[in-house]
Structure 1
């Protein structure tokens, strides 16, 4: 049973959601303020967190900032419908996905399971599932000076470990498995986020920007990931 942390000041919603998720096989702990949310999230006792953006006192963005500074735990943001600014800021700070309120509980469960599969290194549909690889390749992926060990969730550039979130790791893994082939944003959304890309959805672009920054910090090269205008992305040939 996966332990899920719900950080939301809406006590009634928290109780209802906890009851529903318990019936889906999750063990839920609910906290109602940002201070408690941070301490629980950093305890190491939870597989992932659901984080409401709008909370009094320490808001969800600040909770996310503090947790992400010390932990790679998967985090799904719960956002107000149409609040695109908070979504983008949250993704830039390292949230793995978001779901707007009001949401259907079944959709939330699907998002939770998709993120947990990715965190466990499970293969989703798309490039990773379709690509036949040997046991050794599955244990070690290399492209230029970039090294990935999917089973260990370990990423390095020239031997130096990179601190990647779940979504950033899976994005880099997907690009490496595709080799020189350009991948569309729709394809990346299905493979990396486990869901179709929505209209005006910038999630893949923000995760890609974060990944580029970390690769640039490690390598000094800002062009390891190429943008294919109007289509998507690919790793630079020879990288």
Structure 2
């Protein structure tokens, strides 16, 4: 295991294949990270807890504990961004990886340029404006397929754990300064009514990152919140899975970044978890309906 001198820009690589570890180190160090490497899950978890990395890459199939269990243990104690690297590509494996706490899922064999682009896009998902210009993210982003250099926005130091399976939810109404929770768990919000996005008995406040379902505070992860906010803003306009994948990356609608089947399956997995928390049924939806072969949109308002 190598050492690092910069906790802020540290990346931990958990991978049992020495050749892939070398490639990952080259890509991440070219992006300005110091790297710490581990060749098994247990050492990888210890490295994350010891070095507090901004980013962690995690193999699935390793000796000892596998990547799914390692991700669960890491996510329980760290908000590091996790990119899972694996040759497993069934939808169930993608769901399991995201469910264990991964932020992104990249299939092997991967292209170094795509990994670099995904790292930059993942870090751009952080809240805008925080610590701008602090140098937490390398200034040069990965080149896209067209050769353009998309900008990279530094992430905040207080970023929230980012994933559908992250056990730490997005900010709740009860946790905001000056807010109170009424008896029975009902949240009393203090935000102006005009700032809310509304659909049936569902209310979402984009700035304060609060979601109320029939007046009750709903705990969502950052990714689930961003998906729901996008659909609420879009109302009845259909959003494709590729479109939603780009939104979660922080990309614009017109982009040269590749959106693959794994990205679309990841959106499906996030949507499954979001619907479960909303108590929504795909076959008889109250809030989000599937447009077969296209994507998702809000249901019609109640009559």
> What interval of TM-score do these two structures reach, taking the shorter chain for normalisation?
0.7 to 0.9
Answer whether contact 1:79 1:87 (CA < 8 A) is retained: no
Residue in 2 that maps onto 1:162: 219
Shift of 1:141: 4.7
Q: TM-score scaled by structure 2?
A: 0.61
Q: TM-score scaled by structure 1?
A: 0.75
Answer whether contact 2:197 2:233 (CA < 8 A) is retained: no
Shift of 1:3: 3.0
Partners of 1:46 and 1:212 in 2: CA distance: 31
Inter-CA distance 36–176: structure 2 relative to 1 (3 Å threshold): farther
Aligned-residue CA RMSD (Å) = 3.3
Inter-CA distance 31–214: structure 2 relative to 1 (3 Å threshold): farther
Q: Which runs of 5+ in 2 are unaligned?
A: 1-7, 130-149, 151-190, 252-256
Larger Rg: 2
Q: Which runs of 5+ in 1 are unaligned?
A: 125-135
**How do residues 56-205 of structure 1 correspond to structure 2 at under 5 angstroms?**
56-80=63-87, 82=89, 85-121=92-128, 141-144=196-199, 145-150=202-207, 154-157=209-212, 158=215, 160=217, 162-164=219-221, 166-193=222-249, 195-199=257-261, 201-205=264-268
Residue in 2 that maps onto 1:206: 269
Residue in 2 that maps onto 1:130: none
1:37 is the counterpart of 2:93:
no
Partners of 1:223 and 1:91 in 2: CA distance: 25
Instruction: Identify the structure with the greater strand proportion.
Output: 1
Instruction: Identify the structure with the greater helix proportion.
Output: 1
Shift of 1:198: 2.4
1:17 is the counterpart of 2:17:
no
Secondary structure, in 3 states, of the residue corresponding to 2:61?
Answer: coil
